[in-house]
Structure 1
Amino acid sequence: MSTKLKKSYRFAFRSSLFICLVLTVFLCATLLLINQFNWLLPIIFSPICFLVSFFIIQARVERFIYRRVKKIYDDVSLLESSSFSSKPVTTDMKTLTEEIGKFAEDKKVEIDTLKIREEYRKDFLGNVSHELKTPLFTVQGYILTLLDGAIKDSKVNEKYLKRANKGVERLIYIVKDLDMITKLEAGDLSLEKEEFDIIELIHNVFELLEMRAAKNEISLTFDMEYDEPIYVMGDSEKIQQVLTNLLVNSIKYGHPNGTTEVSVENLIKNKVIVRVTDNGEGIPKHHIPRLFERFYRVDQSGSRKEGGSGLGLAIVKHIIEAHDEKIYVESEVDVGSEFSFTLEKTSNKTL
């Protein structure tokens, strides 16, 4: 690949000026010593000396720097991601130093980013393996027991088949969540925004989780009576999943006879904030910054008694951010937690 030369004359100009000044002074001093001083001679000598010095120095500098520096440009041009290779070779050392310094800094940032992504990839693969192997081994264990003869026992075979089916359902649940979060992160999951009543949507989620909440002795309620609809703009199906994930978490980690309360409040002129507040076990503060990471669990013991894919809050965060909105969390151990997110109001809302 040919590389063009971008000339710089500053070094040659300053050097020639310096040489001309020194030689002219030396010439004047010599003429004075021999009593032959004549103003015409220095006046003629100075420009000639300057021009000769300038052209010789410029030619030598260009040849010296170009031949050596061009190799640097050619070497870095092998990295096609860099725009450095498309620039002409400059003989100006200050410009060259700045260009190479910027190039090195960009590459350092790129390498650091790749290292972070590599660590993230390793963690992700480890977490996926950990999440999948438990239900897989469970299903395999029940099937092998049935194949070893338990299938002939009518009292055992149905029970083991039901347990194996639960393991398969858990696998499907994890795979679906993985598929959704992958699409969300890649930007491949399009939102179908529409105007809908957020109060009605919350009612629907309450009805879907009513039996689950009753089993855990958790009461799902509003903070007040909402007699009028509150219209917001968004993908109603995805927002329903956000509310479902948040309420399921509050049910899982709530205390018996506890309460999960949902409120919808004005935030600013064109925004509402939806709050999901419970009086459950709460979350230690040092866990809060990582709550929305994939597979991150507050319980680091590896216990899976509460089930779930470990992706619920990560999905919540991505859905809210896909709406260009914000999600917040506040929590205190043994007091409870509050998750809240914003939505865009529409002109038909009533608050």
Structure 2
Amino acid sequence: MLLSPRITALLLAVLISALTTVFLAFVEGVTNSMLFVAGVSSFGVSFFLILYAIEILVYREVDKMYKTIHKLKLKDFNITRKSISKNNNPFKKLNDEIFVYVAKKQKEIEELRRIEQFRREFLADVSHELKTPIFAAQGFIHTLLDGAIDDEKVRGKFLAKAAKSLDGLDALVKDLVALSQLETGEVKMHFERVDLHEVVGEIFDQLEKIAHNKGVSLKVRTDKPNGTWVKADPQRIVQVMTNLIENAIKYGNEHGKVLVSLEEDKKNILVSVKDDGPGIPPEHLSRIFERFYRVDKSRSKERGGTGLGLAIVKHILNAHKSKITVMSKMEKGTTFSFKLEKTD
């Protein structure tokens, strides 16, 4: 039970008065009148001294500390006054406020540490990704400047390789800019009525050569072959589907198959892109949407790409108020799925 300073002082004064009276009752020659006066006197003096000690020396100072901490909390965390405890006990209020304040500060410190760690990793990844194409292009160009330019055969070959490295650098920079704009909200989605079945067909046509070279068959399965209409940004949803289908081709098995499913429910179209490749180890599933994260870095490099595709896909779908999920079984394949709002 929570007690106010007056009730606390009253109880303690009654206890002291009772003890004093009982003690004097055992003294020989003490009359009832004397006991009464002693009891009343000890009660009065004890009550006011205890009340002064609690109210003036303790409660008021603690209450000042509470108000100071509360002001800091309001300033730091913009907490409304409705969340202020109505408890009259300043010790309890102070304890609660200190606990909440310290907990939030600890959370803030942990978040700053996480951001700092993320910043270090990001800078290291960007430096590494930029270094590879730059050094490659530098090597080819300096070789030409050192005399190889006079050999037409070598010149053409080295210039083509330098151009390829610079094209990779250009793609990386564009993806970094796109990802940054998506994260900061600079890129606004322009929602329209989009036929996903048609989009998938066009992407299949664009990636037909890559799939043919690997012997991969591309198939689409839909509940509405005459048109699967969704509310989406046409340019961005093409980017999402292209990335997922191209990844399925690149990382799937040779002579395998890629299946794109468009299934309808009451309000949405469930989109899934499935391959029958080697799968993704469970320990990597939670991180594949991070920037530059690669399950097998050596093999990923061989297949090309900037390592930012899935991060961009995630942010585009977040802007569509959708969430991408991944399911994978070793040696059985991987499936990426998300939902889009359907429209007639």
Letter of the 1:30 partner, please give it.
L
Equivalent residue for 1:277?
274
Choose the corresponding residue for 2:105, options 104, 107, 113: 107
Partners of 1:24 and 1:246 in 2: CA distance: 84
Question: Please, which of 258, 261, 283 is the counterpart of residue 259 of structure 2?
Answer: 261
User: If the length of structure 2 is used for normalisation, what is the TM-score?
Assistant: 0.85
Deviations 1:130-166 (A, max 9, x none): 1111111111111111111222222222221121111
Query: Pairwise mapping of residues 10-49 of structure 1 onto structure 2 (< 5 A)?
Result: 10-11=4-5, 13-27=7-21, 30=24, 33=27, 34-38=29-33, 41=37, 45=41, 48-49=44-45
Amino acid at match of 1:36: T
* Aligned residue type for 1:152: D
Contact 1:28 1:42 in 2 (8 A): no
Asked whether the equivalents of residues 326 and 341 of structure 1 are also in contact (C-alpha less than 8 Å), the reply is yes
The corresponding residue for 1:138 is 136
Moved more, 238-247 or 42-51: 42-51
Secondary structure of the 1:318 match is helix
Q: Which amino acid aligns with 1:260?
A: V
Note closer, same or farther for the CA distance 1:253–1:21 as it changes in structure 2 (3 Å cut): closer
Taking the aligned partners of 2:36 and 2:223, their CA distance within structure 1 comes to 104
1:85-104 deviations in Å (ceiling 9; x for gaps): x99xx982222122111111
Distance in 2, Cα, partners of 1:180 & 1:272: 26
Give the counterpart letter for 1:194 in structure 2: E
Instruction: Give the Cα separation in 2 of the matches to 1:324 and 1:83.
Output: 27
Shift of 1:53: 2.6
Of 292, 296, 314 in structure 2, the residue corresponding to residue 295 of structure 1 is 292
Counterpart of 2:105, as a letter, is K
Does residue 214 (structure 1) correspond to residue 212 (structure 2)? The answer is yes
| 8 Å CA contact 2:263, 2:270 repeated in 1 | yes
Residues 214/30 of structure 1: CA separation in 2 closer, same or farther (3 Å cut) = same
2:177 to 165, 173, 179: 179
* Cα offset, 1:109, TM superposition: 1.1
1:223 alignment partner, SS class: strand
| Structure 1 pair 94–262 and aligned structure 2 pair: CA distance change class (3 A) | same
1:254–1:50 distance in 2 versus 1, CA, 3 Å: same
Task: Quote the residue 2:242 is aligned against.
Answer: 244
Pairwise CA distance, 1:119: 1.4
Equivalent of 1:154, from 140, 152, 155? 152
- Are residues 187 and 29 of structure 1, via their aligned partners in 2, closer, same or farther at CA, if it must alter by over 3 Å? same
CA contact (8 A) 1:202 1:243 kept: yes
Comparing 11-20 and 142-151, the one that deviates more = 11-20
CA distance in 1, matches of 2:25, 2:16: 14
Superposition deviation, residue 255 in structure 1: 2.6
Deviations 1:268-318 (A, max 9, x none): 310111121222232223222222111111104476111100011111112
What is aligned with 1:3?
A: none
Query: Following TM superposition, by how much is the alpha carbon of 1:15 offset from its aligned partner in structure 2, in angstroms?
Result: 3.4
Describe the SS at the equivalent of 1:331.
strand
Cα deviation code 1:209-256 (max 9, x no counterpart):
122222332222223695411111111111111110011111212333
The structure-2 alpha-carbon separation of the partners of 1:255 and 1:333, relative to structure 1 and needing over 3 Å to count, comes to same
Identity of aligned residues (%): 37
For 2:313 and 2:246, how far apart are their aligned partners in 1? Answer: 12
The 2-side partners of 1:280 and 1:302 are apart by 14
Q: TM-score, normalised by structure 1?
A: 0.83
Structure 1 counterpart SS, 2:328: strand
Contact 2:220 2:260 in 1 (8 A): yes
Q: Could you tell me how far 1:13 is from its partner in structure 2? A: 3.8
Letter in 1 for 2:76: S
What residue is the counterpart of 2:56 in the other structure?
59
| Kept after mapping to 2: 8 A contact 1:20/1:49 | no
RMSD, aligned α-carbons: 3.3
CA distance in 2, matches of 1:225, 1:36: 103
Instruction: Between 188-197 and 15-24, report the one with greater CA deviation.
Output: 15-24
C-alpha separation in 1, matches of 2:74 and 2:131: 41
Unaligned ranges ≥5, structure 1: 1-7
Q: Distance in 2 between matches of 1:180 and 1:130?
A: 19
The CA deviation string for residues 52-75 of structure 1, in whole angstroms up to 9 with x for no partner, is 2355322233576578x58x948x
How far apart in 1 are the matches of 2:136 and 2:300?
A: 15
The answer to whether the Cα contact below 8 Å between 1:13 and 1:54 also exists between their aligned partners in 2 is no
- How far apart, CA to CA, are the structure 2 residues paired with 1:83 and 1:226? 50
Contact 2:192 2:232 (8 Å CA) reproduced = yes
Q: Which runs of structure 2 are paired with 1:305-344 in the superposition (5 Å)?
A: 305-344=302-341
User: Given the superposition, is the C-alpha separation of residues 65 and 326 from structure 1 closer, same or farther in structure 2, using an over 3 Å criterion?
Assistant: closer
